Amino acid sequence: MRHDAHLSLVLAALLSSLVPASVAQEKSSRKSQEKLKLPRPQRLDRGLEFHRDSATGELRVIRSRNEGEGAKTLVRGGKAQAGASPSLKGAPAAPAGPPANIRARVSLVEVSCRVLSADGTPLRGLGREDFRVFEDGIEQPIAHFDASSDPASVALVLDASPSVFRELAGMKAAARTLAKYLSPRDEIAVVAFAAQAQLVLPFTRDRALLESAMASPALAQVADSTQSNIYQAVYLTARELFQDRAGRKAIVLLTDGQDSGLGLSWDPASATLPPAGARQNSGAKADRLTFEDLARELAAAGVEVYAISTQPRPRAMTQAWLATHRDEMLVTPAARELGIPHYTLYLAELVRRAGGQVFFFREIGTLRDIYRQITETLIAQYTLGYYPAAALAKPGWRSLRVELRGDYSAPYAASSVTGRDEPGATRDAVGAPLWQSEGGVANIRIIHRIAYYVPAAP
């Protein structure tokens, strides 16, 4: 019996050694293809309900518990959690997180900034000791510093409505350019929207998956609707994809700016919710998303927006005009008289509030060139993190200011977001603030978001 068993083992080993290498390679290839398989696209708003807290005025988002099998996992902070869209196949599932209406109150505030010389060249090689950061005018100890070495999280949010979808070929080529210039450690996600926002690709470092996502038929399927809920798509992307992520965070938004969902108009009050009495008279619903809710979400999460408009740049909306109005609401009667469309103003207003930059596709020429500029911006950023001395007990907007130490003196301007008056700044040829050395030799510009938002506790 022992002899027979031994013989069987020898024969099995012999047979396995005779299996052609090509078969083993085929199995390995199959495994690799399985790993690269895209998850099914999922609606980011599936099972979500908006509820406004009557006491605080904050918009709360609750995910229905009756979603069943269709919404088992959601990519939040790069991990799969209960209650949302699928993570990449083969990725380990994280334990179920708290209900969607409970928000983590992380006290570390991160401020991304760029330091530019007078000719616009990014200044590299600065360290933690070179910076000072202020909240509401009070200096804060810098607890975290990064010079673009930590991975970045970049979400491509693509308008798939018919008016923009014709640029699909350019989108695909541009996505390759973006992947080429970003670090291999940086993660990219893809969201496409028309009436609804679809998560086409969760955050991943796999560039082959990005290629597959941009070639996915799901992009064409999203384009079925003539509606374009731009700001809801950005809100859901910030909320569902960026929570719990640290470091540089950016949404790259490609759209014509003509939103169908929020009812934005020349009246700046259309960006906020009317008072309770006015709502009763007008029939407006409290439990709906507003532009102000979106600005708060982006500012609370520290997500910058790089908006690419497919519309021509309005003649009056120059870089100098944008810099001059950096600290005030852009949607005004004066802007209307200049002939700037209100939908383009709201797009620029979103960038003003969240940080980032607005581009005009027809002005620059190709999406590749724009995406290259965006990646050059991201890789030249410094990230400063601090724990607020005032903690997070008091909700609301808080102003931010970044200075350089040493021989540099920091100019700063008032913020319409916080309503605080601050000393004026020397400005360059396009109206942007200049950092001027005491000796007058160097003019340096620091670009960063002007405020962040602390939501009221649920």
Supply the pLDDT for residue 342.
Answer: 96
In-domain check, residue 89: no
Q: Which residue has the higher pLDDT, 69 or 446?
A: 446
The answer to the question of residue 402 being in a domain is yes
> In angstroms, rounded to a whole number, what is the distance separating the alpha carbons of residues 145 and 385?
6
**CB of 117 closer than 8 Å to CB of 206:** no
Given 379, 409, 428, the domain boundary residue is 379
- The reply to whether 47 falls in a domain is no
| Residue 324, number of CB atoms within 10 A of its CB | 14
Q: What is the pLDDT of residues 303-347, one digit of tens each?
A: 999 999 988 999 999 989 998 998 899 999 999 999 999 999 999
Q: Give the lowest-confidence range in 22-36, 113-127, 159-173, 350-364.
A: 22-36
Ramachandran region, residue 159 (left: φ > 0; alpha: ψ -120 to 50; beta: rest): beta
- Supply the pLDDT for residue 168: 67
Checking DSSP bridges between strand 138-140 and strand 131-135, what pairing results, if any?
A: antiparallel
Nearest to 368 by CA among 181, 165, 166: 181
What percent of the chain stands above pLDDT 70?
69
Q: Establish if 343 belongs to a structural domain.
A: yes
In angstroms, the Cα distances linking 56 to 99, 149, 395 are: 19, 38, 9
Residues 330 and 271 in one domain: yes
Residue 273, pLDDT > 60, answer: yes
Strand partners, 59: 52
Instruction: Specify whether 184 is located in the same domain as 265.
Output: yes
How many C-beta atoms lie closer than 10 Å to residue 141's C-beta? 9
Residue 226's pLDDT is what?
Answer: 74
Indicate if the pLDDT at residue 426 is higher than 70: no
- Strands 396-404 and 131-135, how do they pair? antiparallel
CA distance 140 to 452: 14
The predicted-structure confidence for 369-412, as pLDDT tens digits, reads as follows: 888 888 888 888 999 999 988 766 678 999 999 999 875 444 33
Please tell me whether residues 220 and 314 are part of one structural domain. Answer: yes
Beta bridge partners, 62, equal: 49
In this structure, the number of other CB atoms found within 10 A of the CB of residue 60 comes to 17
Tokens, residue 247? 């470091």
Q: What is the pLDDT of residue 258?
A: 92
Higher pLDDT, 373 or 107: 373
Residue 214: its pLDDT value, please?
A: 86
Is the pLDDT assigned to residue 17 strictly greater than 50?
A: no
Question: For the chain, what is the mean pLDDT?
Answer: 76
Q: Within this chain, do residues 228 and 315 fall inside the same structural domain, yes or no?
A: yes
Looking at the fold, whether 348 and 317 belong to one and the same domain comes out as yes
Report the pLDDT value the prediction gives residue 65, as an integer from 0 to 100.
Answer: 63
Q: Is residue 82 part of a domain?
A: no
> Strand, coil or helix: what is 11?
helix
Q: Is residue 163 exposed (0-12), middle (13-18) or buried (19+ Cβ within 10 Å)?
A: middle
| Residue 247: band (very low, low, confident or very high) from pLDDT cuts 50, 70, 90 | confident
8 A C-beta contact, residue 394 and residue 117: no
358 with 393, same domain: the answer is: no
Q: Within this chain, do residues 404 and 302 fall inside the same structural domain, yes or no?
A: no
pLDDT band at 92 (very low <50, low <70, confident <90, very high): very low
Report how far apart the first and last C-alpha atoms of the chain are (Å, whole number): 72
- pTM given for the model: 0.77
The CB-side HSE value for 76 (13 A sphere, CA atoms) comes to 23
**Cα-Cα-Cα-Cα dihedral sign, residues 269, 271, 273, 279:** positive
Top-confidence residue, 130 or 84: 130
What are the residues whose beta carbons fall under 8 Å from the beta carbon of 27, sequence distance 6 or more?
A: none
Q: Tell me: do 304 and 429 sit in the same domain.
A: no
| Number of domains observed in the structure of the chain | 2
Which domain range does residue 409 map to?
109-144+384-454
Determine the Cα–Cα distance for residues 297 and 411; give it in Å rounded to an integer: 28
For residue 248, being part of any structural domain is answered with yes
- Is 15 part of any domain? no
C-alpha distance from residue 213 to each of 177, 187, 200 (Å): 15, 14, 6
Same domain, 204 and 241: yes
How far CA 143 is from CA of 139, 221, 248, 255, 384, in Å, comes to 12, 46, 16, 37, 8
Residues 163 and 216 in one domain: yes
- Residue 105 scores a pLDDT above 50: no
The DSSP H or E segment spanning 35 is: helix 21-35
pLDDT at 11 over 60: no
CB atoms under 10 Å from CB of 113, counted, come to 19
How large is the average pLDDT for residues 283-290? 76
Same domain? For 269 and 134 the reply is: no
Residues 189-227 pLDDT 10s: 999 998 889 999 999 999 999 988 888 877 777 766 678
Which residue has better confidence, 454 or 84?
A: 454
- Listed in sequence order, the DSSP H helices in 182-290 are 207-214, 218-222, 230-241, 276-282
Question: Distance between CA 381 and CA 16 in Å, rounded?
Answer: 55
Last residue of a domain, one of 333, 355, 379: 379
Lowest mean pLDDT among 36-45, 144-153, 262-271: 36-45
Can you spell out the DSSP letters for 60-102?
EEEE-TT-GGGG-EEEETTEEEETS----TTPPBPPP---TT-
**Mapping DSSP to helix (H, G, I), strand (E, B) and coil, where does residue 177 land?**
helix
Q: 319, exposed or middle or buried, with CB in 10 Å at 0-12, 13-18, 19+? A: middle
Domain for residue 33, yes or no?
no
CATH at residue 360: 3.40.50.410
Q: Which of 336, 363, 379 is the last residue of a domain?
A: 379
β-pair partners for 80: 75, 93
Mean pLDDT value of segment 433-457: 67
Average pLDDT over residues 56-68: 76
- Say yes or no to pLDDT of 271 above 90: yes
Residue 458 pLDDT: 64
| 327 and 448 together in one domain | no
The pLDDT of residue 238 is above 90: yes
pLDDT confidence tier of residue 442, bands split at 50, 70 and 90: low
